Amino acid sequence: MTKKRFGVLTSGGDCPGLNAVLRGLVHTASNLDYEVVGFHDGFEGLLNGGNYEILSPERTAGILPLGGTILGTTNKGHFIAKVDGGTKTTIPAPVLAEARQTLQKLGIESLVVIGGDGSLTTALQLFEAGIPTIGIPKTIDNDLEATAMTFGFDSAVACVADALDRLHTTASSHKRVMVIEVMGRHAGWIALYGGLAGGGDVILIPEIPFSFEKVAEAVRRRDATGKYSTLIVVAEGATPVNGSEFVLAKGTGEYKLGGVGDAVARETARLTGKEVRTCVLGHLQRGGAPTTLDRILGTRFGVKAAELVAQGMFGQMVSYQNYEVRPVPIADAVHKLRLVPPNGQVVDTARAVGISFGD
């Protein structure tokens, strides 16, 4: 008898922990007597008759500590559901029809989508178009509603903290200000957690508009107490009061942010007269091996998603809540971004240890 099959794909920006998810998913599927078809390069793998491979437990052996995704991914292509700044857009009907045809041809009954906000918005459209779909939340940005954490975030934070440790020694040797621009798109989680873990002195996040003068004030305050170096962590989506996000490039999907770090460096140098350098951490935050936390969370998500397929719980996403992995409707995860609460406990904690938010 032929085995039941479900498909899986990784979509959007890659992040550490994707392979841990695939390994957990494939092992559980095999135990439940399913065959897993892995589509290459995100949703694009569903087109042109399908670009795919069979994922067996043997194929996923040894990939737990590997960064990236063995399936490949893209945050571009025919299935874009969110554009510039998060505006929703509809996937063309012929594209959906072609995807459905591929699944039918391969005898695939359902699809597991591992993705962030944009990719899960696509997954929801697939589900609403009649394709049984399960979601797994992935993003270093940690900005998805309905889950307390996404895998990939902890690895990105670890990268920021490591970078700050390194920048600290060079900044203090030269009595300089170092500005480090980090990812996170419209959310400040990476900057906030990375800044806290790495001993940042100023943290600028999209949720708390900053003033260049207040940032300079924080630098002067430190100088006055004999602390002649300052580390400023800037989220790529941080905005000055009455200003807007710094957009680097516009493409077919979400626009690319960047440049705020240089602006903060320029203004801080002008207002304080100090030597300032900028470091844009960029894709280092997305690469490399996942942390232990991301390996474990990824494995738990993968295992649970395969169980949900077997239980027919379509339209659901696995989520992490109160130490448990549970299903929640995909719709609940993508209706709005989960942002840092400006008056929340973590921001208060940061302020308590003397961190300035430039406000």
Report the residue from 7, 13, 17, 42 that binds ligand F6P according to the rule CB under 6 A: 13
286 is a contact residue toward ligand F6P (CB under 6 A): yes
186 is a contact residue toward ligand F6P (CB under 6 A): no
Instruction: Please identify every residue annotated as catalytic.
Output: 141
Residue 223 has a CB neighbour count (10 Å cut-off) of 16
Helix-helix angle 345-352:189-198, to 10 degrees: 30
Q: How far is CA 161 from the centre of its chain?
A: 17
- Say if residues 110 and 133 touch (Cβ distance below 8 Å): yes
274 is a contact residue toward ligand F6P (CB under 6 A): no
Report the residue from 21, 140, 306, 330 that binds ligand F6P according to the rule CB under 6 A: 140
What is the smallest separation between the CB atom of 40 and ligand F6P, expressed in angstroms?
Answer: 18
- Say if residues 118 and 13 touch (Cβ distance below 8 Å): no
Q: Report the residue number, 17 or 184, with the smaller CB distance to ligand F6P.
A: 184
Binding mask 35-74 for ligand F6P (x = CB under 6 A): ----------------------------------------
Q: Report the residue number, 16 or 327, with the smaller CB distance to ligand F6P.
A: 16
What is the smallest separation between the CB atom of 284 and ligand F6P, expressed in angstroms?
Answer: 11
100 is a contact residue toward ligand F6P (CB under 6 A): no
What is the smallest separation between the CB atom of 162 and ligand F6P, expressed in angstroms?
Answer: 17
Report the residue from 78, 82, 185, 338 that binds ligand F6P according to the rule CB under 6 A: 185
Q: How far is CA 286 from the centre of its chain?
A: 8
- Reported for 86-95, long-range contacts at CB under 8 A and 24+ positions apart, including other chains, are 86/117, 86/186, 86/254, 86/337, 88/121, 90/125, 91/122, 91/125, 91/126, 95/47
Using CB atoms within 10 Å of the CB of residue 357, give its burial: 0 to 12 exposed, 13 to 18 middle, 19+ buried.
buried
- Say if residues 347 and 341 touch (Cβ distance below 8 Å): yes
Contacts with ligand F6P, residue ranges (CB under 6 A): 13, 75, 116, 139-141, 183-185, 236, 256-257, 286
